Structure 1
C-alpha cells in the first residue's frame, strides 16, 4: 500500500492519509481484510509524527472503514465494500479537481491546456504502475 504524503501541502497530513485510504477503498485498491502499514512503519517511511498517523487511523476506524485487531494492527473493515459507483468515486475526486482548476485559473491556464496536462499526468502515473 503506497501513500503519497506531501508535508508542504495545505491539507493536513492526517487528512491526506484519511482521504487516500478512503479513495483506495472506494476504488477497490484496498479490500476487506487488507492490512494497513503499522503506525510506526508509516510514520518512519514518511518522516512524520506517529500521532499524526494514529489520528488518521482513528478517524477511519470511527467511520467504520478500518478495524483494529490485537496483534495484527489496522485492517480494512470486513463489512466495507468497495464503492465502485461512479458518482461516489467522482465525489471523492472533486476536491482535488476543484483545487487544480482554481490553480489553473490563477495561473491563467485555459481549460483545454489544463485537461491536456491532467491526461498527460494520468498516462504517466498509469505507466509507472506495476503490472
Structure 2
C-alpha cells in the first residue's frame, strides 16, 4: 500500500510540480501498473489508458466523469467529485484513492495522482495525471 494515502483518502493543494512528481515517482518505484489519463476541461472528456478503462468497465473512451466515478466505491464518490471540481477552479495538485470492483466482482485499490492547468480565462485547460493499481491485482494483467 502506498504511504502517500490510504483507501478512501484524498488531498488537493495549489499546483506544486515537485510534489506531483514525487507522488508519481513513488508509484513508479513500487509494483504498480501506472497509466496516464487526461481530461479536457472545456469538453469534460476523460481519456484513460486501456487497462484502466477495462478495470473500470468503461464502455467509451473518452468518457465523462460520471462514467469514471460510477466504478469507484460509493463512499468515496463525493470526496473524489469535490477534489475534481476544486481542481477545475484553480491550478492544483491532487491525489485520491478508492476501491473499484472489476468485471468479475473482485475489488482492487485504485490510486490517482493529478494536476490541473488552467488558462487565464479559466474555461480552458486540462486535468492530467496517472491511475495506478497494484500489479498483483487480480483484475489487471501485467
Decide which structure has greater helix share.
1
Q: Which has the larger radius of gyration?
A: 1
Decide which structure has greater strand share.
2
Shorter-chain TM-score bucket reads: under 0.3
Which structure has more RCO (C-alpha within 8 Å, separation ≥ 6)? 2
